[in-house]
A and B are shown apart, each in its own frame.
Chain A
């Protein structure tokens, strides 16, 4: 076998040289792990409670804003802060429209513990990020798309929604609230 290294052409029969057992062992372990990781995602899709693939529909920002407005008119129970942000209590199983815009969240949803709600996440202008704190669930809001996910809160409390997709020079001012009650 001729002398060579990684910088020089290999011997002509390089593809016939046997593979060492260190390499074979490691490749086998790595390949098995790759299969495990693939099947974990599929397993969780059937068995887990957290899957954000969800449903998505095209919708114009205007049409989405109108639906959100309709929800506000119907289910507002009070307003909060000097900005008079409406607190909406949509009945369990109902549709909650999160219409984000530069630089605010349209509503403060009030949810009941253990109930499931159909969240519709979208934007009426540019991309925004829906980051629910402190539990740290993060979803992308894209204008023109209605991202539908069923949320089932598992703990009572006051939560905050931070915009975590850059949306303009006052992006950092975009913070909202969400309640989960008994």
Chain B
């Protein structure tokens, strides 16, 4: 049973925090930020190499840096941070103790050892196989072992999370159904279990193969199962970041969902269909019938896309309804105009929502069309797209949440708050710009994961147009802006932990609770629109999506006949 001496009550928020869980949150969040720094430096080096006028790294180091960048930010930073989110949602939001802090620490050590191990064998040049490590390219066995240890650690945390939900229910720390944000985290954790199991199914035999104990890994089978890990891990991110968006809507505006039923159903649709998305990566591969391809790439008639489109309305919609209840009721957009744009928690949250939807969402839906994939597969468009989702979306939403968590967990004021204000804008607009320019270059044929687009000295080489060079240069510049934003975030985070001014016990709340009382009644109006401004926003989104989608069909129709 829970022991009161293991808890503290946060003077800012009134939340009851389990101290052993808080330590784990802090450790995981700090590890995440450290790997964001390492992976971010590699990413900047990669971007500066692909910027033709700079072309920073020699070829071997370019491919090493690219492998490390993928592992450190796409896996290590994001998953460490998600572990902190799982601890936070299951304990603080449910007013519960953590089921087994010891297992949490074992998991943390496994993840840390795995991440360090993978980094060492990438940096010594023995595992330059890219993040995807498609056999028969072979890495150092420790590369696979490092990833396996990391995954096992993450799996343990998922079980600690699920165990904590059981404890909270059993000890009656809350009444009724799970809060929506915890429900979203639960969906993320369930997807994570499936994802990590897929990773184990493919990485363990590949590890044995790299040791010479298994004769052969079928390269196509590897691609199929690996992507059940690689793609689904992005779906964990989606569920987690959407939970964060809902959480920030409540923290800053006291927002409740327009309808619990709709928002929960949208999360549930993810659980039904997201796993099918691994087929997105096999659309231009040999094998797989047309029906297999259409069913899987569309998440069984786009039901997971439907989930995302619902959230795209209900999240801004719940903020809008809350703001309108507080009297910001003029016109379509007063609620948005008068939102706290100078607060990085809000600017990071809202920018990540918009960028994820408009850049990541629209392009993701288009490129995963079976036939259209052929004019996009493995071009620079692909990393362009996923910097729209994972960097400008997931990472930015984590940054936004960090600025709320820092004062709460560390009891310190944000270090250099002006820099923090700028960081979300620089990172969001930098990464969003990078995504757009890289996708533009990819549309014009530039390959991803490619050191030299000039084909210097190659008798069969050719020249890309000046437009392509313009896009690649612009991608370089925006990547630098985004990197500076990330650096500013890391500076503020580390600075707050080390040098931030301690918050007195009677400090003004970081969270405004005003308005929470006021908004009890929306969601059930029989007439009038609850969120007309948000409806306009999603209508604009829809127009962009439809135009872009059919423009790509038109482009596809102009290329050679291929059947």
Chain A interface residues (CB < 8 Å from chain B):
1-12, 14-15, 17-23, 25-27, 29-31, 33-35, 37-38, 40-42, 44-45, 48-54, 56, 81-83, 85, 116, 121-122, 125-127, 129, 131, 133-140, 142-147, 149-154, 160, 162-173, 175-177
Contact in complex: A20, B562 (CB < 8 Å): no
Q: Which residue of A lies closest to B138 (CB)?
A: A126
B258 within 8 A of A: yes
Q: Which residue of A lies closest to B521 (CB)?
A: A1
Which 4 residue pairs of A and B lie closest in terms of their CB atoms, listed nearest first?
A147-B286, A152-B561, A164-B447, A34-B302
Whole-angstrom distance from the CB of A5 to the nearest CB of chain B?
4
Contact in complex: B314, A41 (CB < 8 Å): no
Q: Which residue of A lies closest to B174 (CB)?
A: A9
Residues of A within 8 A of B521 (CB): 1
Q: Which residue of B lies closest to A2 (CB)?
A: B520
Given contacts A126-B134, A164-B379, contact A149 B563 (CB under 8 A): yes
Q: Which of the segments B175-183, B336-344, B406-414 contacts the partner chain? A: B175-183
Whole-angstrom distance from the CB of A157 to the nearest CB of chain B?
11
Residues of B within 8 A of A139 (CB): 284, 374, 377
Contact in complex: A4, B369 (CB < 8 Å): no
B370 within 8 A of A: yes
Contact in complex: B179, A137 (CB < 8 Å): no
Q: Which residue of B lies closest to A21 (CB)?
A: B529
Q: Which of the segments B36-44, B78-86, B215-223 contacts the partner chain? A: B215-223
Residues of B within 8 A of A3 (CB): 516-517, 519-520
Residues of A within 8 A of B553 (CB): 40, 44
Contact in complex: B563, A150 (CB < 8 Å): yes
Contact in complex: A8, B179 (CB < 8 Å): yes
B180-207 interface mask toward A, CB cutoff 8 Å, 1 = contact, 0 = none?
A: 1100000000000000000000000000
Contact in complex: B259, A10 (CB < 8 Å): no
Could you pull out 14 A-B pairs where Cβ atoms are within 8 angstroms? A9-B177, A23-B259, A29-B542, A33-B545, A34-B298, A34-B303, A37-B305, A41-B297, A44-B371, A51-B371, A52-B562, A83-B459, A140-B286, A160-B461
Q: Which of the segments B140-148, B233-241, B384-392, B531-539 contacts the partner chain? A: B531-539
B549 within 8 A of A: yes
Interface residue from A45, A56, A171 paired with B286 (Cβ < 8 Å): A56
Distance between Cα atoms of A17 and B538 in the complex (Å): 24
B510-554 interface mask toward A, CB cutoff 8 Å, 1 = contact, 0 = none?
A: 000000110111011100011110110010001001100100010
Contact in complex: B369, A20 (CB < 8 Å): no
Residues of A within 8 A of B261 (CB): 14-15, 17, 19
Contact in complex: A163, B460 (CB < 8 Å): no
Q: Which of the segments B245-253, B327-335, B395-403, B486-494 contacts the partner chain? A: B245-253
Contact in complex: A137, B374 (CB < 8 Å): yes
Q: Which residue of B lies closest to A122 (CB)?
A: B286
Distance between Cα atoms of A154 and B285 in the complex (Å): 23
Whole-angstrom distance from the CB of A133 to the nearest CB of chain B?
5
Q: Which residue of A lies closest to B320 (CB)?
A: A22
Interface residue from B251, B286, B318 paired with A7 (Cβ < 8 Å): B251
Interface residue from B301, B377, B461, B462 paired with A138 (Cβ < 8 Å): B377
Residues of A within 8 A of B517 (CB): 3
Contact in complex: A150, B561 (CB < 8 Å): yes
Q: Which of the segments B288-296, B430-438, B500-508 contacts the partner chain? A: B288-296
Chain A CB count within 10 A is highest, among B256, B529, B538, for B256
Distance between Cα atoms of A82 and B302 in the complex (Å): 51
Residues of B within 8 A of A168 (CB): 137
Given contacts A27-B310, A52-B371, A143-B136, contact A38 B378 (CB under 8 A): no
Q: Which residue of A lies closest to B550 (CB)?
A: A40
Residues of A within 8 A of B458 (CB): 173, 175
Contact in complex: B93, A25 (CB < 8 Å): no
Q: Which residue of B lies closest to A27 (CB)?
A: B310
B63 within 8 A of A: yes
Q: Which residue of A lies closest to B447 (CB)?
A: A164
Whole-angstrom distance from the CB of A105 to the nearest CB of chain B?
8
Q: Which residue of B lies closest to A55 (CB)?
A: B286
Distance between Cα atoms of A176 and B455 in the complex (Å): 11
Whole-angstrom distance from the CB of B96 to the nearest CB of chain A?
12
Q: Which residue of B lies closest to A9 (CB)?
A: B176
Contact in complex: A129, B378 (CB < 8 Å): yes
B443 within 8 A of A: yes
Interface residue from B259, B286, B318, B378 paired with A131 (Cβ < 8 Å): B378
For chain B, residues 254 to 292, give those with C-beta under 8 angstroms from any C-beta of chain A.
254-262, 282-290
Contact in complex: A7, B247 (CB < 8 Å): yes
Contact in complex: A30, B128 (CB < 8 Å): no
Distance between Cα atoms of A152 and B477 in the complex (Å): 40
Contact in complex: B460, A81 (CB < 8 Å): yes
Residues of B within 8 A of A6 (CB): 179-181, 246-247, 249-250, 255-257, 318
Residues of A within 8 A of B283 (CB): 52
B56 within 8 A of A: no
Contact in complex: B538, A26 (CB < 8 Å): yes
Given contacts A34-B301, A152-B560, contact A25 B255 (CB under 8 A): no
Distance between Cα atoms of A142 and B285 in the complex (Å): 8
Whole-angstrom distance from the CB of B361 to the nearest CB of chain A?
12
Residues of A within 8 A of B285 (CB): 140, 142, 147
Residues of B within 8 A of A138 (CB): 284, 374-379
Given contacts A83-B459, A135-B559, A149-B563, contact A140 B378 (CB under 8 A): yes
Interface residue from B318, B447, B560 paired with A137 (Cβ < 8 Å): B560
Residues of A within 8 A of B306 (CB): 27, 30-31, 34
B309 within 8 A of A: yes
Distance between Cα atoms of A151 and B288 in the complex (Å): 19
Whole-angstrom distance from the CB of A119 to the nearest CB of chain B?
9
Whole-angstrom distance from the CB of A147 to the nearest CB of chain B?
3
B158 within 8 A of A: no
Contact in complex: B445, A133 (CB < 8 Å): yes
Interface residue from A142, A175, A176 paired with B223 (Cβ < 8 Å): A142
Residues of B within 8 A of A171 (CB): 63, 449-451
Residues of A within 8 A of B373 (CB): 52
